[in-house]
Structure 1
Amino acid sequence: MEFKQPELLYALFLLIIPLAVHLFQLRRFEKEDFTNVKFLQKVIKQTRKSSRLKKWLVLLTRIFLLTTLILAFAQPYFPAKDTAAARSEKLIFLDNSYSMQASGKNGPLLKSAIRSIIKNLPEDEEISLITQNKQFSRLSLSEMVNELQHLEYASQTLDFASIKLKAQQIFKSTEGEKDLILISDFQDNLKVNVAENEEDINYHFIPFIPQNIDNISLDSLILKNREANEVTFQVKLSSSTNLNESISVSVYDGEKLLAKSAVNFAENLKVTAEFKISSEEIQRGRISIEDAGLQYDNRLYFSLNKLKPARVIVIKENSEANFVNRILTPPEFDLQPFKISQLDYSELNNADFVILNELETLPGALRSNLQSLKKKGVPLAIVLPIDANIKNYNSLLSSLEAPTISGAKKQEQLITDITYAHPLFNDVFNEQTENFDYPKVQSSYNVIGGNKVISYQDNSGFLVELNENYLFTAAINNENSNFKSSPLIVPIFYKLGLSALKNPKLYYENAEAENIQIPLTTKQDEVVHLVSTEDNFIPQQRILGDNLEINTGSFALPPGNYAVTYQEKNKAYLSFNAPRTESELVYKLPKKNENSNIHSSVEDYFKKIKAAGESTQLWKCFVIFALIFLVTEMLLLKFLK
């Protein structure tokens, strides 16, 4: 026990005064002899003893009364248990990820956590704040309340290592105790791991646990097939529990309902819904479900822009290539045939797909341009001539990382085998065909490497693919082959052409920095805007030839549909969604150790910190004791005879 005013303890010497006064008041009685007064003497003797006892008791109560009053004025107290804790630098991490939309005892977890923090914040202390997407240092009470009241859910998520790194940066100039208070539902992807020997930061975990973890999520959307006026989508959904009732899935363009279906999770937790929609463009697509769990994953935004025709360049020697003109037709394709002697290299450099049809000569300029196109990811189909210059072709094929020629075969061969599992044949065949009119070739070439798409009867490759390079190992002119008359030629070349159609992504994740190329020609001093019904952003952008590249890394776009506007006109449409990682409602509470504590609530943490930093005041207790002794003295004087 210690005293705030220890100099007042000298007043205890004043207790000598009542003791001295009491002693002076004790008088001696003289004896007087009386005859036959035995009974009277006994009464006097008893009275003298009770009077002496009463005076001693009164003396003690007065001494105790004065002593407790003196001690009370000296202000005694027990020192604080942990004064460093009260003076510690505090940093709050508040999890505002989408999983905090789940409901707890007092409503949505994030809203409940915000109310609890505001209610228990100390008034005279500055506290730092970290969220999933923001960071603030040393906020006053009013500043903290303002930031918390305007806090929204964030698409970005931090793991524990990232939070710790941010905390170390904030605590960099801090000496003494450092408290990191983590308020979260502690999903498994937070990956909390506090080392036993870590001493630089004290960790305090405050879990907010949802009452119900049932949730249905719209996970992803895939463009399965696209034709001129019809598209086929596949929507993947997942549920945290098996459900017997059907869930309705609706597809909208703005407010217009395009399609509707139902799914059931009675047997599987992951299901797929397929939609066929007659439309060449969906500007503000939205897929919706109704679910009482998390709300952010009940909508999936997407955009489907009009197809830009793929520019196909066919380069030929003297042979005809009219069969390609009949297969790769508008509106999907813009085909331009050139003789090698009349090739327009500026057109070649803008190609989306190139076909070399039985070229006997390969100019150096052609090879260098094809290498440049290869770096851009432009697919290439090469039909070898009857008499190919193997050395020149291998030089080109090697530079393109394509299969190379090992020798010529001068005998007739039947084309008999199809690799149905190859991506080129997706959605081409309803079933595998065993017997059909096999096409044949009179001469061909052996090749090294690559994946066989179509094979001869001796299991060597007729059409071989590697790194989006497709090599026909035999000439397909009428002199060497009847392949042009085969039903295989149409799906093969049509699917090769479709591989050049660069369908833009249906949507992007807004937590990632995306580089999005849009076919749009702009002036150097003019910019495009990303415009939704609520927001208008000017993204980072740069001109790349006939395209415009937009970078979204400078800000996190809210989920939704956006129009790309240039000169106040809509030129394209983009959509953004939050990643679905927060839909996996798997929780892992941290463990308590020497460097970490788990608190039941925000109030519990601040109460313990306040109690640890406060001394126990005792002056009130001594005042109470003084009053007790005063009352005791009055009772003694009144009732003790």
Structure 2
Amino acid sequence: MQFKHPEILYFLFLLVIPILVHLFQLRKFKTEYFTNVKFLKELAIQTRKSSKLKKYLLLATRLLLLAFLIFAFAQPFFKAKDSKNATNELYIILDNSFSMQAKGKKGELLKRAVQDLLENTPENANFSLITCSDNYWNTDIKSIQKELQNLKYSASPFQLDNLLAKIKAHKSAFEKDIVVITDAVGLQPNQLKNSKDDKNLYFIIPEAEKTDNIAIDSVYVNQVLDNFYEIGVKLDAFGEDFKDIPIALYNNKKLTAKTLVNFESKNKTINFTIPKEDFHGYVTISDNGLEYDNNYYFSISKPEKSNVISIGEVEKSSFLSRIYTSDEFNYSNFPLQSLDYNLIDKQDAIVLNELKEIPQALQTTLKSFVEKGGNVILIPSSESTPSNLNNFLANFGAFKFNELGTTEKMITKINFSHPLFSGVFEKKVDNFQYPNTKKSFEISNSAPTVLGYSDQTPFLSAIQNSVSSVYVFAGEINKVNSNFQNSPIIVPTFYNMAQNAQKAGINATIIGESKPLIMETLLSKDEIVNVKNATESFIPVQQILNNKVKLTFNDNPKDAGNFGVFNNDKLVENISFNYNRTESNLTNANPEAASDFKEISNVDSLFDTLQTDRTDNQIWKWFVILALLFVALEVLIQKFVK
């Protein structure tokens, strides 16, 4: 037991006073004489004993009364077992990612967590609240009541390590209690590796009753026909028990197609055929799982001709004119000596076909061209020097040409999963008629291999950035050195290498990804474009690149949907945004990752636990009650004890 005011205990010396009063009573007794005391003797003895007992009882009650009063003013208490953390600041991390849409015993997990905070957080409690999308520092429950009630799900996935780092970076003179409210979907032990020694980290982990969920993973152009697109809708099923679900396709909010999907496997692809024209809509499903991944928004612009030029000798480039036909491409060939550099920025792809040397001026121009979203296809000449080629490719990544080899090699490896061949093959080809090359450069690089030799070395590699690619062949593909021009794979390879991914195909951006959009539009220095739809509008980060503009969206928009890019009120291009699907798999819940930390059942228990463990047990009231009890006891003794 400890005392807040131990100096008051010196008043215990006052207990000597009632003792002295009782031992040395100063009252004088007067003697009275009676004629006959025979009958009073026994009564006198009895009265004398009773009087003596009463004196001792009164002495004891008065001593205890005075002692308890002194103890009460000294304010005794028992120290709490966790009193050293009594001054800690409270930080609450609330997971508002889309997996918290799952339903628990009392409804959606996020809404239940918000309700628990509103109902059970003491009004005088000061804390900070951090979510995936917002921060509320040094606040109380009344101040953020409206914000909590209107809290939306975040397009950003729950990344606990980033949120913990944000709290630890928040300067404070006090220690920190951190309470994490999450369903633990996607929670990994490495996210907590920097918090292993943190004894004041608590977890509240609500559980979903059902983990079954179906998500639309992606939409892509599966096949381009003369007058139609065949688009593929990829669906993922997470869990065990699934029934047939409806799937519908909408263009500008008008129903285009509808069917039922049955899941005999975990992954399913549904194909739709739509007219080869502008499309600005979405595909939607209806299931009993999460809602956020039931819609996938996408846009398709009416195809425009791609602009392609090849730089090299006319005779060696004649095969390209048979691939880049006039109905889909604006194709031209220029010898290096007659090249107009002003044409480069207007192209979608440039083929460097067997140039003996790439001049420094052209290298600089092509570096800028690739940064603006253009593709470059490099076919080396056997007379090229590795140093010149490496000097050019150093602008785009770690890629190195070694000496020219004279061994004939077979091209036997096809990277079917590479984006260049998306939708080209219905299945992997085993009986392929493999082309070969007689001479080729040895290549060392870390870039993905698109086509490879039988000895596992690359024949065609792709150096990719967020907006464009540089494709590099290992050797010449003229008919003297190779029969690659006679292979059926040459057409889809060169066709897709020349296509601008943002000019043809699906336009659907994932919110939060750093992938920029490059569009062709002329803007003056003072002009800007904005992105908007009926409910939301924002101005993206933008950079003018001659006749193009590069847009970066960061964490915008807040909500998925179909949008338009506008220059003033003029529509420049349609664009669509979708949420990341990382929260779709509810079976990824991993509460074991937090097993090394304290787990609390609910918010109400949280504050009870902290208060019980950290609040001193004040017992001065008990001493006051005992003092009053002995006051009453003294009155009773005075009245009833004779």
User: What interval of TM-score do these two structures reach, taking the shorter chain for normalisation?
Assistant: 0.7 to 0.9
Report the CA distance between 1:117 and its aligned residue: 3.0
Q: CA deviation at 1:522?
A: 1.5
SS across alignment from 1:189: coil
Residues 50 and 262 of structure 1: CA distance in aligned 2, closer, same or farther (over 3 Å) = same
Task: Report 1:129-528 matches (<5 A).
Answer: 129-139=129-139, 142-145=142-145, 147-157=147-157, 159-171=159-171, 174-191=172-189, 192-193=191-192, 198=197, 202-227=200-225, 229-265=227-263, 267-283=264-280, 285-313=281-309, 328-336=324-332, 344-347=340-343, 350-353=346-349, 369=362, 373=366, 376=370, 378-380=375-377, 391=383, 427=424, 446-447=439-440, 465-467=460-462, 468-469=471-472, 471-474=476-479, 492-493=490-491, 496-504=494-502, 506-528=507-529
Q: Deviations over 1:526-548 (max 9, x none)?
A: 00001022111111111112211
Q: Does 1:588 align with 2:588?
A: no
- Given that 1:219 and 1:236 are in contact with CA atoms closer than 8 Å, whether structure 2 keeps it comes out as yes
Mapped to 1, the partners of 2:237 and 2:323 lie a distance apart of 44
> 1:494-526 deviations in whole A, cap 9, x for unaligned?
652243111325322212223221122212210
The one-letter amino acid paired with 1:610 is Q
Cα offset, 1:607, TM superposition: 2.6
CA distance in 2, matches of 1:217, 1:508: 17
CA distance in 2, matches of 1:48, 1:208: 75
Counterparts of 2:329 and 2:220, CA distance in 1 = 23
State the match for 1:412 in structure 2.
none
Partners of 1:425 and 1:112 lie apart in 2 by 43
Q: What SS does structure 2 have at the residue aligned with 1:153?
A: coil
Q: Distance in 2 between matches of 1:59 and 1:452?
A: 103
| One-letter amino acid of the counterpart of residue 18, structure 2 | L
Q: Secondary structure at the match of 2:90?
A: strand
Matches of 1:71 and 1:433, distance apart in 2: 94
Q: 2:356 and 2:510 mapped to 1: Cα distance?
A: 44
1:303 deviation in Å? Answer: 1.9
- What is the CA-CA distance between 1:252 and the residue it aligns to? 1.9
Shift of 1:302: 1.8
Q: Distance in 2 between matches of 1:556 and 1:78?
A: 55
- What is the letter of the counterpart of residue 293 of structure 1? G
Query: Does the 8 Å CA contact 2:357/2:385 hold for their aligned counterparts?
Result: no
**2-side partners of 1:408 and 1:212: how far apart?**
60
Q: Tell me the SS of whatever aligns to 1:111.
A: helix
Q: What's the counterpart of residue 103 of structure 2?
A: 103
The aligned residue for residue 532 of structure 1 is 533
Once the two structures are superposed, residues 63-83 of structure 1 have per-residue CA deviations (whole angstroms, 9 ceiling, x without a partner) of 545554554455444455544
SS at match of 1:280: coil
Overall identity of the aligned pairs, in %: 29
Q: Report how far residue 98 of structure 1 moved.
A: 1.9
Counterparts in 2 of 1:454 and 1:149: CA distance versus 1, 3 Å: closer
Note the C-alpha offset of 1:169: 1.6
Report the CA distance shift for 1:333/1:402 in structure 2 as closer, same or farther (over 3 A).
Answer: farther
Letter in 1 for 2:301: N
TM-score (norm 2): 0.75
- In 1, Cα distance between the equivalents of 2:148 and 2:432? 71
Give the letter for the 2:550 counterpart. Answer: E
Contact 1:405/1:445 (8 A) holds in 2? no
Contact 1:313/1:338 (8 A) holds in 2: yes
Distance in structure 2 (CA, Å) of the matches to 1:373 and 1:111: 53
State the match for 1:15 in structure 2.
Answer: 18
Distance 1:381 1:496, change over 3 A: farther
Output one character per residue of 1:192-242: Cα deviation in whole Å (capped at 9) or x when no partner.
Answer: 53679836x732333333333332222233332234542233333223312
How far residue 598 of structure 1 moved from its aligned partner, in angstroms, is 2.9
Q: Where do residues 25-44 of structure 1 align in structure 2 (5 Å cutoff)?
A: none
Q: Aligned partners of 2:580 and 2:156: how far apart in 1?
A: 8
Change (3 A) 1:636 1:392: closer
How far 1:572 moved relative to its partner?
Answer: 0.9
Alpha-carbon distance, 1:107 to partner: 2.9
Amino acid at match of 2:383: K
For the 8 Å contact 2:97–2:158, the answer to whether it is kept is: no
Once residues 101 and 160 of structure 1 are traced to their aligned partners in structure 2, the CA distance between those partners, rounded to angstroms, is 18
Aligned partners of 1:424 and 1:496 also within 8 Å: no
Aligned partners of 1:241, 1:261: CA distance in 2, in Å? 22
Deviation of residue 474 (structure 1)? 1.0
The letter for the 2-side match of 1:298 is N
AA aligned to 2:209 is Q
Please, which runs of 5 or more residues in structure 2 have no aligned partner? 394-399, 444-448, 463-470
Q: What's the CA shift for 1:565?
A: 0.6
Shift in CA distance, 27/170, structure 1 to aligned 2, threshold 3 Å: farther
Matched with 1:113 is 113
Structure 1: how far apart are the matches of 2:507 and 2:16?
91
Displacement after TM superposition at 1:97 (Å): 1.9
One-letter amino acid of the counterpart of residue 275, structure 1: F
Contact 1:15 1:66 in 2 (8 A): no
| Structure 2 Cα separation of the partners of residues 297 and 55 of structure 1 | 86
Query: Is the CA contact (8 Å cut-off) linking 2:424 and 2:492 kept in structure 1?
Result: no
> What code does the residue aligned with 1:162 have?
N
The alpha carbon displacement at 1:560 in A equals: 2.0
SS in 1 for 2:166: helix
CA distance, structure 2, for counterparts of residue 292 and residue 565 of structure 1: 37
For residues 500 and 592 of structure 1, do their structure 2 counterparts lie closer, same or farther at Cα, with a shift above 3 Å needed?
A: closer
Q: Which amino acid aligns with 1:301?
A: Y
Q: What one-letter code is carried by the residue in structure 1 that aligns with 2:565?
A: V
SS in 1 for 2:216: strand
Contact kept? 2:212, 2:240, Cα under 8 Å: no
The answer to whether the Cα contact below 8 Å between 2:179 and 2:204 also exists between their aligned partners in 1 is: yes
Report what 1:571 is aligned to: 572
CA separation in 2, counterparts of 1:558 and 1:473?
Answer: 51
Structure 1 residue 613, shift from structure 2 partner: 4.3
CA distance in 2, matches of 1:2, 1:348: 86
Residue pair 1:114, 1:149 contacting (<8 A) in 2 also: yes
- Contact 1:72–1:619 at 8 Å: present in 2 too? yes
Deviations 1:443-474 (A, max 9, x none): x965456999899xxx99xx974553564331
In 1: Cα distance, 2:313 partner to 2:194 partner: 71
Q: Retained in 2: the 8 A contact 1:158–1:190? A: no
Q: 1:190 to 1:11 in 2, by over 3 A?
A: farther
**Which residue pairs with 2:466 in the alignment?**
none
Q: Report if the CA contact (8 A) 1:85-1:612 is conserved.
A: no
Q: Separation in 2 of the partners of 1:96 and 1:591?
A: 18
Task: Select the structure of larger CA radius of gyration.
Answer: 1
Unpaired runs of 5+ in structure 1? 410-415
In 2, Cα distance between equivalents of 1:606 and 1:580: 35
